[in-house]
Chains A and B, each alone.
Chain A
Amino acid sequence: MLSNLLIPAVLFFALGFLARVIKSDLRFPADLAKALSIYLLMAIGLHGGYELGKADLLTAMNSVMWALLLGFGMPLIGYTILVLSKKVDAMNAAAISAHYGSVSAGTFLTAVAYLDSLQIEYDSYPVIMLAVMESPAIVVGLLLAAWSRRRLAAQQGVSAAGTANGDDRGGSGQLTHILRDAFTNGSVVLLIGAMVIGAVAAPQSMVKIKPFIEEIFMGVLCLFLLEMGMEAARRIGEFRRVGAVLIVFGVAMPLLGGLIGVLVGHWVLGFGVGGTLLVAVLAASASYIAVPPAMRLAVPEANASLYLTLSLGITFPFNVVFGIPLYHALTNWVVGL
């Protein structure tokens, strides 16, 4: 397993983590991480769209449907586990579980780097699943939060109408607004837009931008993961506040997601080892870009440090370092059955 970790992307993640632990003054300029993530989404979208342009429409539609099912289903599983654990209240359970239905593009791209290093081919369909899975979990998280809020208000004998709204809009207007935000989220628009461009652009014109979207891609990913390593390490101090049970959740939930993803990827969608591993990573990863701002805005009662520590400080490093090789081993086993 150790040799599988010796790829530059993972090593730069470790370097960022180490830099923060030893209190180095290494620091990225403001907004660089955001700029790098824009580049990465654009590049993966163009590349995936170009490949999808040559793909089978029925399989693509099937992938979209399963991406939606995973996006809606994983938060429900997470919410149930968290509520049963009784370690967090229902509002925190809703906000945390939303993160686990959405995806981490950083983890997905690390898995792509991992597959490239092992020279394993992968299907292009998981890229469209990546785009589709950004938003549904936000919707489920908001609905779970609205439901929990109403239940809490009923228990306390007060009206819950409009308790989620931060200003003058009513409760339903607020929900509509947040739903629109979920589906017009910048990452979703960029990823889907780049995929459409990649799919419809003339192949000879794509050759011209190939150096930009392919040859420098892994280098940019290394820079992005260096910063994410620092961000992940910054969360270590919060572990005590999060508590052992939630830390276990932050590891168990991706393992469960990975298992479900492997079964969906291979048995349902019929992907090979590469494609199945990517579906496993999608189901296993937790969002730390799109979902946290949505939850901070719409579920202000939830503690942001809990869901950020879980998704960015625990699940993300676990997936990058241990999860991807584990899901690969599981995929090999299932494919070999």
Chain B
Amino acid sequence: MHRLHAEKMITVITSDVLENRLIQAVKKRGATGYTIFRAHGAGTSGEQSGMLDVDTNIVFQVVVPLSKVGALLDALEELGRKGHHLRVMVADVGVLWPEKFE
């Protein structure tokens, strides 16, 4: 365990149409990479079947050091204020090679 370094993993579940917005938001705030999964499911916005573009969700994950979390969460909160539906979760994770996330 001693080789693991503490970082924060932000997971966003939202509509497929916001993909480019999220990519721009994390790039602008210094994230070095991100991962996207197509997903379907249901929530307060109703069922997302994944069959049509507008009905497809994405799970967007990005790992960043604690110093970058605040700015990123501000950008996500701004999206929510505009009326977009998104779920945001932040988790503590341990990573190998922390320089990949700096």
Contact = CB atoms under 8 A, between A and B. Distances in A.
Contact of A292 (B49, B52, B84): B52
A168 B45 CA distance: 25
Interface in B53-102: 53-55, 75, 78-79, 82-85
Given A30-B38, A168-B28, A300-B84, A292 B21 contact: no
A288 interface: yes
B82 A164 contact: yes
A304 interface: yes
A28 interface: yes
Listed residue (B17, B18, B25) with the most chain A CB atoms within 10 angstroms of its CB: B17
A234 interface: yes
Contacts of B38: 30
Nearest to A238: B46
Interface in A74-92: none
A185 to B, nearest CB: 10
A288 B47 contact: no
Contact of A167 (B24, B51, B83): B24
Contacts of B78: 166-167
A288 B53 CA distance: 10
A302 B79 CA distance: 14
B7 interface: no
Nearest to B16: A293
Contact of B50 (A30, A163, A166, A302): A30
B54 A293 contact: yes
Listed residue (A33, A302, A305) with the most chain B CB atoms within 10 angstroms of its CB: A33
Contact of A296 (B47, B49, B51, B54): B54
A297 B51 contact: no
A134 interface: no
A293 B48 CA distance: 13
Interface residues of A, number: 27
Nearest to B19: A297
A234 B82 contact: no
A34 interface: yes
Contacts of B83: 300-302
Interface in A254-281: none
B18 A305 contact: no
Contacts of B24: 167-168
Nearest to A231: B51
Contacts of B79: 166-167
A4 B100 CA distance: 63
Interface in A220-237: 227, 230-231, 234
B88 to A, nearest CB: 14
Contacts of A168: 24-25, 28, 75
Interface of A: 28, 30, 33-34, 163-168, 227, 230-231, 234, 238, 288-289, 292-293, 296-297, 300-302, 304-305, 308
Interface of B: 15-18, 21, 24-25, 28, 38, 40, 45-47, 49-55, 75, 78-79, 82-85
18 contacts: A33-B51, A33-B52, A34-B51, A34-B53, A163-B82, A164-B82, A166-B18, A167-B28, A234-B49, A288-B54, A292-B52, A292-B53, A293-B16, A293-B53, A296-B17, A297-B17, A304-B54, A305-B45
